Amino acid sequence: MPLNRGWSYREQVGPDAAGLTVLDYLIAAHSHSTESEWASRIERGEVEVEGTLARSGMILRSGQTVTWHRPPWDEPPVPTNFAILHEDDSIVVVDKPGGLPTMPAGGFLDHTLLALIRESYPEASPLHRLGRHTSGLVLFARTRPAASQLARAWRDRNVKKTYRALGLGLTHTEMFVIDVPIGPVPHPTLGTVQAACESGKPSHSVATVLESRKDTTLFSVEITTGRPHQIRIHMAYAGHPLLGDPVYEEGGGLKRRPGLPGDGGYLLHAEQLQFAHPATGHAMTVTAAPPPDLQTREELVTASALAR
């Protein structure tokens, strides 16, 4: 694969960072790179302050814009076999494979669902996002009125989102509600990540048991809020962290040595979206079949019989 086109990361200096040098600011704000790496980038002319080439010792003021012009790079390979489940003049609904990022972030720019969709629908904008390793439905708007209407529906909690998740442990409760708030907590590498915390934002999920297995339970989870990593956090808080989750443990907090939120290993699928079409107002239900590991035994038998 050829190198991507590179990207410019822009951010505004906050009051707490005023008085820092450019180098100290970048080290503190972006611990993913070492001091020597940031110093080399500044020396190569990749960093600007207010459109002017930066020097390592330049003192920053609150409100200034710092830009890192990241040169083109070779992105990690990802699956790209997404499916279009619905399209019209207003919207596109996509079934995303696990492993494909929804939006540019970290080491991904061209290898994202957004970039791939815009090859055919250059005007498309996502109404929400899924974690890289979460598969399933992503809704895109194709017009500004559609985007505005759907964003309002999302804010008013008029979009119903249902997921499949495989959690550790067994339960005798057929359905339960999780409403612990979600907010930032300390992370040893990233500074902070989202997790269960009393000072966080209100969050609401409803989990229903679909099937009990030997040491795990298959759940259907409906969410009425859309906090980052909400299902992973809420299921962990409820005592059923997702099988293979590298970050969250029972109780909804972080593991003793947590991985990164973008790491894979867990099974989570956005199965269904229910919403009013932004142009017609008609009720729509779009469903993406879950992968085999997130299907019940009965569903697998039925699928096998239909394939014969």
pLDDT tens for each residue of 48-65 = 999 999 999 999 999 999
Q: Stretch 140-150: mean pLDDT, rounded?
A: 97
Q: Where are the domains of the chain?
A: 7-70, 83-297
Question: Domain spanning 83-297: which CATH class is it, in words?
Answer: alpha beta
Which contacts of 23-31 are long-range, i.e. CB under 8 A and separated by 24 or more positions?
23/56, 23/57, 25/60, 25/66, 26/66, 26/68, 31/189, 31/190, 31/191
The pLDDT of residue 107 is 84
Fold of 7-70: 3.10.290
The share of the chain scoring above pLDDT 70, in percent, equals 100
Q: What global pTM score does this model have?
A: 0.86
Give me 133's structure tokens.
């390793």
The share of the chain scoring above pLDDT 90, in percent, equals 86
pLDDT tens for each residue of 250-289 = 998 899 899 988 889 999 999 999 999 999 999 999 999 9
Whether the per-residue pLDDT at 303 is higher than 90: the answer is no
Lowest pLDDT segment from 74-78, 187-191, 262-266, 288-292:
187-191
